[in-house]
Amino acid sequence: MSLYRFKSRETADLVMLEPHGRRVLEILGKDPDQPGIIVPDQMPGAIAALRAAVAEEEAHQRQQREEAEARGEPSPQFDPVSLRLRTTPFIDMLERCAKARVEVVWGV
C-alpha cells in the first residue's frame, strides 16, 4: 500500500496510508497525485479547513445515528479511527511549522 510522507524542518516526518493522506490533501485543495508544499502563510487556512472537515464529519455521523435511532434501527458503524484522530498529528505539524515559519512538503 502506498504512503504519503509529510516532511518539514521543524517536526519529524508524518506518514499516512494513501487513502488517508489523499483525503487530507483533498480537504486542503491540494493535488494528491503530485508532490506539493504548504507554505507558512497557507497554514492557518489549512488548519481551519481540516477542523471544518472534522466538524462536518462528526455532525453527519451524529445525524446518521439519530436517524437510525428514530427508526429503531441499529446505529451505523463508522471507521473506528475518525478524521479527528487522523488529522490531529497533521494539525499539530502545521501549527508548529507555522510558528517556525517553515514549509511542509510531500512527494519530494
Q: Report pLDDT digits (tens) over 39-78.
A: 999 999 999 999 999 999 999 999 999 999 999 999 899 9
The cell for 66 is 439519530
Domain of 55 in residue numbering reads as 3-106
Total count of domains within the chain: 1
The CA distances from residue 40 to 1, 12, 23, 83, in Å, are: 30, 17, 21, 23
Contact present, 99 and 15 (Cβ < 8 Å): no
pTM of the shown model = 0.90
Contact present, 83 and 51 (Cβ < 8 Å): no
The cell for 76 is 451505523
The residue type of 44 is: P
pLDDT digits (tens, 9 = 90+) for 4-48: 999 999 999 999 999 999 999 999 999 999 999 999 999 999 999
